[in-house]
Amino acid sequence: MILDGKQVSSAIKASLAAQVSTFPEKYGRVPNLAVILVGEDPASQVYVRNKARGCEAVGISNSTYRLPAETTEPELLSLIGQLNADPAVDGILVQLPLPRHLDEHKVIETIAMEKDVDGFHPGNVAALWQKRPCIVACTPKGIMKLLESAGIDPCGKRAVVVGRSNIVGLPVAKLLLDANATVTVCHTRTKNLPEITRQAEILVVAAGRAKMVTADMVSDGVVVIDVGMDRDEDGKLCGDVDYGSVAPKASWITPVPGGVGPMTIACLLENTVQCFLRRL
């Protein structure tokens, strides 16, 4: 069966739109999200456009700051500083990856924690790992909602995460652990990867390698979450999972596109509303 991120995200967006429509009367304004894109990475341009469209669909006001690739660090930090200080801005998102001359950690740390809709600020990350209230990163949060929408309870299950990034692998491993799964995190240096992935009842793949998970690497009945956004040999959009061969063995699987991607956007919008409500 298909874990339909498009459908689940539409339901979340409809509910957010209804909520946001009551804000002008209640609070005199709607939430506002500032999105910063440095450079012209084609994938990032698509993501940023989809984020703006998502905002518009639920009535969140938004501005996208498109900065040239040569933007200096002081220039970028100064823009973030202005947005931090602007009471009309509820959320700030800097699209990653940044051009190499910019220090990602420094940039993320500069974003005010209470406006960090991505949940990437060290304060939010620490709070997640200590089970304190925090803003949870959008993709991991979206994955958990997708599982929940299908009635898949990770409690007691063996979950395997392929990938250990700060954006997806590590936080989703923590959320699965908090949901009482037994979690294994695999990465590029993992030995006998197929042996480990075959033990998974829930398999989350966020490795960034086209079709790297093949049918021989999964067991019958597995729930597969594919976070990949890759291109295959023919330049066609595909995931980290070889959908054609893996889907027949899976009990549930996310398509690419239309799986995790739309959930990330829905959770970004939810986080923006959360930041707005917290700042009132």
Report the sign of the C-alpha dihedral through residues 111, 112, 117, 123, in that order: positive
Dist CA 199 CA 214 (whole Å): 14
CB of 46 to ligand GUN, least distance (A): 11
Among 138, 181, 193, 260, indicate the residue that binds ligand GUN (CB under 6 A): 138
Residue 254 near ligand GUN by CB under 6 A: no
| 159 φ, ψ (degrees, to nearest 5) | -110, 135
Report the sign of the C-alpha dihedral through residues 246, 251, 178, 12, in that order: positive
Residue 118 near ligand GUN by CB under 6 A: yes
Binding part of the chain for ligand GUN, among 11-19, 93-101, 145-153, 202-210 by CB under 6 A, reads: 93-101
Residue 128 near ligand GUN by CB under 6 A: no
Indicate if 51 belongs to the active site.
yes
Cβ pair 212, 247 in contact under 8 A: no
Residue 32 near ligand GUN by CB under 6 A: no
**Which is closer to ligand GUN, CB of 90 or CB of 118?**
118
Using DSSP bridges, classify how beta strands 32-38 and 91-94 pair: parallel, antiparallel or unpaired. parallel
Residue 95 near ligand GUN by CB under 6 A: yes
Indicate if 141 belongs to the active site.
no
Residue 242 near ligand GUN by CB under 6 A: no
Residue 110 near ligand GUN by CB under 6 A: no
Helix (H) or strand (E) run with residue 18 in it: helix 5-21
HSE-up (13 A, CA, CB side) for residue 266: 25
Binding part of the chain for ligand GUN, among 17-25, 94-102, 217-225, 251-259 by CB under 6 A, reads: 94-102
Residue 167 near ligand GUN by CB under 6 A: yes
Range 169-228, binding ligand GUN (CB under 6 A) = none
Residue 96 near ligand GUN by CB under 6 A: yes
Cβ pair 170, 122 in contact under 8 A: no
Cβ pair 83, 63 in contact under 8 A: no
* Sequence letter at residue 126: A
Three-class SS of 222-260: CEEEECCCEECCCCCEECCECHHHHHHHCCEECCCCCCH
Dist CA 107 CA 120 (whole Å): 10
Residue 67 near ligand GUN by CB under 6 A: no
* Sequence letter at residue 65: Y
**Which is closer to ligand GUN, CB of 142 or CB of 222?**
142
Dist CA 52 CA 49 (whole Å): 5
CB of 223 to ligand GUN, least distance (A): 22
CB of 219 to ligand GUN, least distance (A): 29
**Which is closer to ligand GUN, CB of 31 or CB of 142?**
142
**Which is closer to ligand GUN, CB of 36 or CB of 196?**
36
Indicate if 118 belongs to the active site.
yes
Helix (H) or strand (E) run with residue 64 in it: strand 61-67
Residue 17 near ligand GUN by CB under 6 A: no
Q: Which residues are catalytic?
A: 51, 95, 118
Name the residues that contact ligand GUN, by CB under 6 A.
93-96, 118, 138-139, 167, 264
